[in-house]
Homo-oligomer: A and B are copies of this chain.
Amino acid sequence: MDVVGYAVHGEREKLAPLKFARRDVGAEDVAIAIEWSGVCHSDIHTGRSEWGDVMFPCVPGHEIVGRVTAVGSDVTKFSVGQQVGVGVYVDSCRECEQCRSGMSNYCAKGMIGTYNNPDREGDGYTLGGYANGIVVDHGYVVNVPESLDPAGAAPLLCAGITLYSPLKEWGAGPGKKVGIVGLGGLGHMGVKFAKALGAHVTVFSHSASKKDDALSMGADDFIVTTDETVFETHQKQFDLLINTVSAPIDLNLYLELLGLDGTLVMVGLAPEPYPIKAFSMLAQRRRIAGSMIGPVAQLQEMLDFAAEHNIVSDVEVIKADYINEAWDRVVESDVRYRFVIDASTFATT
């Protein structure tokens, strides 16, 4: 299948159009006409070679919503015309304990990312969602309920699951005090899901200007962190904190906010190590945990939950030729709260 998309063609180059072919639709594959493609900060880290080696041309994008155009002979779960989504990974080893227990996002051999990863056959590498079509194994495709705004649904495939998964794992719900640290692409999904799950939700942000947004998304409280006395005032009050800030912040301050057995979840990938004080952990038997997207079954659960509670991302829809500017704005945190590419505009570039 011939498609057109946007790629980084070489180190330090800007994104530019690329015509390329997707693989033929195999027996277990689903061909998808991409309609909406979200812009994730990790696209930028990868495309700008900030996270290591890049295979050029690199087509980023792992927040994909579109419609099925063809299915392989062994595919029964999806049919032509159905609205579907693809997230951060498109394959895994399927043999390790993690894969067999349905946790393929933690595949022991490493999940196969939607872009810039050697593919399973080993004879090529994956090209992502900044394009108007993709072919993906049906085991890594999910249904996107028709009731969801499809552009707003695209960021659910990465930003959404990144927050939903730890909120579920660490028991966000009625009677729990949850803090979302940072109100950006990730954080705003955390506010919406935590609220819908029934938790009391507090946003921690250094931008007082985001207060109205936070409250309108469902936050019960908004704490400006430029005044560090707030960490004293609110100590031992929270059950769960999710840090969505990828810049270095002092996690010891946030640990003090957790009560007995409280957990601080890290979902951002700051390059520098965080200095963690032992005493911040021992007091109140606190925990720090990592969390990395979620398995395919949970991706589906999250989309169904989102449909039930009418949750989508707040998005700014852009055309394909705006991507380079959009990347710059993401780096400057100048987006409320996620860019989504109208994939129909790839064909005209």
Contacts and interface: CB of A to CB of B under 8 A. Distances in A.
A267 interface: yes
A172 to B, nearest CB: 16
A285 B260 CA distance: 21
Nearest to A293: B282
B283 A292 contact: yes
Interface in A232-289: 236, 252, 259-260, 263, 266-270, 273-289
Interface string A208-230: 00000000000000000000000
A291 interface: yes
A124 to B, nearest CB: 25
B281 A266 contact: yes
A279 B275 contact: no
A279 B290 CA distance: 8
Given A108-B236, A281-B266, A282-B266, A276 B291 contact: no
A259 B101 CA distance: 13
A101 B260 CA distance: 11
Contact of A291 (B236, B266, B282, B292): B282
Q: How large is the interface on A (under 10, 10 to 19, 20 to 34, 35 or more residues)?
A: 35 or more
A236 B107 CA distance: 11
Contact of A282 (B108, B279, B292): B292
A234 to B, nearest CB: 13
Most chain B CB within 10 A, of A236, A287, A290, is at A290
Interface string A98-110: 1001010010100
A95 interface: no
A97 interface: yes
Contacts of A169: 285
Given A269-B282, A274-B275, A260 B290 contact: no
A98 B98 CA distance: 36
A252 B272 CA distance: 12
Nearest to A162: B282
A275 B288 CA distance: 13
A171 to B, nearest CB: 14
Given A106-B283, A266-B278, A276-B288, 18 more contacts: A97-B259, A98-B260, A98-B284, A101-B260, A103-B260, A169-B285, A266-B282, A267-B282, A269-B278, A273-B275, A273-B278, A281-B289, A282-B291, A283-B290, A285-B290, A285-B291, A286-B290, A287-B289
6 nearest A-B pairs in the assembled complex, by CB-CB distance: A281-B290, A273-B275, A282-B290, A282-B292, A287-B289, A288-B288
Interface of A: 97-98, 101, 103, 106, 108, 169, 236, 252, 259-260, 263, 266-270, 273-292
